[in-house]
Chain A
């Protein structure tokens, strides 16, 4: 029987490059997976209600009953950290998803139709970039009101320019390629070219941008919640936990330190994953880093 040629695995060089940085990448993937697990299984991981006040147990130090102690309302800190991961992950994933879809669409249109459409889109992006991201997110948040949905849209809006700019430059780079010219000559419609041919060829840098923005969004969400404009009490968010814990910095510093550590761990994990993805998906950087 004729031996069938072994199917080559196109993913392996990229996967190898992804893990090229060694232990630090495994650590980052592990941390992200751990928080994802916490967010998905929060109800099973802890017996406590994150929002239920037990004033008799207020501001207690670590014990067997409450591993990280309790806050000013007697709520279990570990439980609130676990539930806080839901807010951080949901807001960052959904805000980045919203920004990626809107930004890619606008970038595709501005790159493909360079004329008036392109100019209007790029002008909008330039205008948005002239306002600092945090201030812009806060102003959009004022329109949309406090709460998770408003926060996600406000965060997403702030990220749109980076996706538009990247997609625009990617489309400009490949829209004059021979295969796109051939498709045009073959009377293939604009929308079909944009979605079936341009989009798949520009996805790799978009995935990298998505991963890199996840860390930024985790940090921005905690910042806005810290300022008291984002997620409101009693819902647990790492940002509002730091704000509440600051009052007890002299007596129970853990209340302030632990939620901050969670923000740092998740942000750093996403940044490392983003960097490794950038290396893995960029053929020039495949190899030793």
Chain B
């Protein structure tokens, strides 16, 4: 097996081990919560027979290790059980929420990435100029605005004052594209504003690091035009940190969208997280945390594998430097 093959196997093994460890932590979540988890989920006034029946269904009377294997086996089959609070199948609930979340977070991710990279690059290549100062102030200011508040303010301006966009609700793009665009405009705008500021800030730092390198100075000294130095030699070498920060951004978007769904009353994953936490629905929290963690670990694995494509040194060594 060549070095890159060894690298892939090692990284995949690491990812599987991480998923195992996180599954243990998530499984223990229910057991470590203060008080009786079944009573917390059913309510403290629930009758004893219902509590005992729930304990049997959840195998809570079995030894801990047996409980883990039953839970992990069910998870692998996509069977997350019934929510004791919502009285619905958890898998079905999550399956209906994911497309809603993706229809808001994906457009926001694409738009914020493009704007963030352009803004960060201009800011770094025109360092100290009025454009850089303005962009830095803009990026810093928007980086400090909580997404829930900017959501409420945009709702205030576009829905209450101007009355041009609906304040709340959601329409699926498959049912009515026009309705979707109207309802999704504000949440996508909020996520874009808060994300692009962060991407722009990181891009500026990465680009400045690269532009301070000796080979860039040498390229300039050899008389290469600034645009060629910046956009060919400079940008190409920011690829690894930029891809890294984009994967981190995916992680933030999964969690960050929680607030937006709450403010705009959109029944996506974020709202499900909120209602599960508010109602002590531990089984749904377990399933959601596990799905998100597996998703993030898979993204990290793809990121590690992409390092090998982007940096020949990593391919040659068979491990990440």
- CB within 8 Å for A242 and B292 given contacts A227-B274, A271-B143: no
Q: How far is the CB of B89 from chain A (nearest CB, A)?
A: 22
Instruction: Tell me which of A127, A142, A215, A275 contacts B21 (CB under 8 A).
Output: A127
Q: Please provide the chain B residues from 198 to 239 with a CB less than 8 Å away from any CB of chain A in the complex.
A: 208, 212
> A187 within 8 Å of B by Cβ?
no
Instruction: Tell me which of A131, A138, A222, A260 contacts B152 (CB under 8 A).
Output: A260
> A223 within 8 Å of B by Cβ?
yes
Closest-by-CB residue of A relative to B139 is: A271
The segment from A9-17, A33-41, A109-117, A261-269 found at the interface with B is: A261-269
Q: How far apart sit A263 and B144, CA to CA, in the bound complex (Å)?
A: 8
**A138 partner residues in chain B, CB cutoff 8 A:** 273, 277
Contact assessment for A249 and B143 in the assembled complex, using a CB-CB cutoff below 8 Å: no
Q: How far apart sit A289 and B205, CA to CA, in the bound complex (Å)?
A: 12
Q: How far apart sit A256 and B155, CA to CA, in the bound complex (Å)?
A: 12
Instruction: Tell me which of A126, A223, A246, A260 contacts B259 (CB under 8 A).
Output: A223
Query: Interface of chain A, helix or strand or loop or mixed?
Result: helix
Q: How far apart sit A139 and B29, CA to CA, in the bound complex (Å)?
A: 9
Q: Please provide the chain B residues from 229 to 282 with a CB less than 8 Å away from any CB of chain A in the complex.
A: 251-252, 254-256, 258-259, 262, 273-274, 277-278, 280
**A143 partner residues in chain B, CB cutoff 8 A:** 32-34
> A219 within 8 Å of B by Cβ?
yes
The segment from B2-10, B293-301, B310-318 found at the interface with A is: B293-301
**B145 partner residues in chain A, CB cutoff 8 A:** 264, 267
Q: How far is the CB of A160 from chain B (nearest CB, A)?
A: 15
**A284 partner residues in chain B, CB cutoff 8 A:** 212
> A97 within 8 Å of B by Cβ?
no
> B127 within 8 Å of A by Cβ?
yes
**B95 partner residues in chain A, CB cutoff 8 A:** none
**B140 partner residues in chain A, CB cutoff 8 A:** 268, 271-272, 275
Contact assessment for B256 and A132 in the assembled complex, using a CB-CB cutoff below 8 Å: yes
**B208 partner residues in chain A, CB cutoff 8 A:** 285
Contact assessment for A260 and B143 in the assembled complex, using a CB-CB cutoff below 8 Å: no
Q: How far apart sit A249 and B156, CA to CA, in the bound complex (Å)?
A: 7
Contact assessment for A222 and B146 in the assembled complex, using a CB-CB cutoff below 8 Å: yes
Contact assessment for B141 and A135 in the assembled complex, using a CB-CB cutoff below 8 Å: no
> B88 within 8 Å of A by Cβ?
no
- CB within 8 Å for A145 and B256 given contacts A253-B156, A268-B141: no
Q: How far is the CB of B255 from chain A (nearest CB, A)?
A: 2
Contact assessment for A263 and B152 in the assembled complex, using a CB-CB cutoff below 8 Å: no
**B292 partner residues in chain A, CB cutoff 8 A:** 131-132, 135
> A45 within 8 Å of B by Cβ?
no
Q: How far is the CB of A134 from chain B (nearest CB, A)?
A: 4
> B83 within 8 Å of A by Cβ?
no
Instruction: Tell me which of B127, B147, B156, B258 contacts A135 (CB under 8 A).
Output: B258
> A176 within 8 Å of B by Cβ?
no
- CB within 8 Å for A130 and B259 given contacts A138-B277, A143-B32: no
Q: How far apart sit A211 and B141, CA to CA, in the bound complex (Å)?
A: 16
Q: How far is the CB of B93 from chain A (nearest CB, A)?
A: 17
Contact assessment for A132 and B252 in the assembled complex, using a CB-CB cutoff below 8 Å: yes
Contact assessment for B22 and A127 in the assembled complex, using a CB-CB cutoff below 8 Å: yes
> A133 within 8 Å of B by Cβ?
yes
Q: How far apart sit A101 and B137, CA to CA, in the bound complex (Å)?
A: 31
**B251 partner residues in chain A, CB cutoff 8 A:** 129-130, 132
**B106 partner residues in chain A, CB cutoff 8 A:** none
Closest-by-CB residue of B relative to A265 is: B144
- CB within 8 Å for A145 and B149 given contacts A127-B22, A271-B143: no
Contact assessment for A142 and B33 in the assembled complex, using a CB-CB cutoff below 8 Å: yes
> B18 within 8 Å of A by Cβ?
yes
Q: Please provide the chain A residues from 122 to 156 with a CB less than 8 Å away from any CB of chain B in the complex.
A: 123, 126-127, 129-135, 138-139, 142-143, 145
**B277 partner residues in chain A, CB cutoff 8 A:** 138-139, 142, 229
- CB within 8 Å for A132 and B255 given contacts A223-B148, A246-B152, A275-B140: yes
> B128 within 8 Å of A by Cβ?
yes
| A to B CB contacts below 8 Å, 12 in the list | A127-B21, A130-B293, A131-B289, A133-B252, A133-B255, A142-B280, A223-B147, A246-B152, A260-B146, A263-B149, A268-B143, A268-B144
List residues of A whose CB falls within 8 A of some B CB.
Answer: 21, 24, 123, 126-127, 129-135, 138-139, 142-143, 145, 215, 219, 222-223, 226-229, 242, 246, 249-250, 253, 256-257, 260, 263-264, 267-268, 270-272, 275, 284-285, 288-289
List the 3 closest pairs (A to B, CB-CB), nearest first.
A132-B255, A267-B144, A268-B144
